[in-house]
Amino acid sequence: MIRTIRRTVAAVCSLGAALVAAQERTMDVMQTPEKVFAEPVAALMPELAGTTATGENGRVGAELVFWGYRLGDGRAAFLFACAQREDVDCESRVPMICAARTTVLRTGSAAGKVVHRECGAAVVVHSGDRRPGCIEKTQSTAPLTIGLVSCG
Encode pLDDT of 62-119 as tens digits: 899 999 999 988 999 999 999 998 999 999 999 999 988 999 999 999 998 877 667 6
Distance in angstroms (rounded) separating the CA atoms of residues 120 and 129: 14
Q: How many domains does the chain have?
A: 1
Residue 73 lies in a domain: yes
pTM score over 0.85: no
| Torsional sign, CA 69, 71, 77, 78 | negative
Distance in angstroms (rounded) separating the CA atoms of residues 138 and 126: 22
Distance in angstroms (rounded) separating the CA atoms of residues 3 and 52: 57
Length reported for the chain: 152
Residue 70 lies in a domain: yes
Residue 74 CB contacts under 8 Å (≥ 6 apart), including other chains: none
Residue 14 lies in a domain: no
Residue 88 lies in a domain: yes
State the DSSP code for 82. Answer: E
Residue 15 lies in a domain: no
Tell me the three state secondary structure of residue 53. strand
Residue 16 lies in a domain: no
Dihedral (Cα; 133, 131, 150, 72), 10-degree rounding: 180
Residue 130 lies in a domain: yes
What range does the domain containing 139 cover?
Answer: 25-151
Residue 74 lies in a domain: yes
* pLDDT tens digits, one per residue of 45-67: 999 999 999 999 999 998 999 99
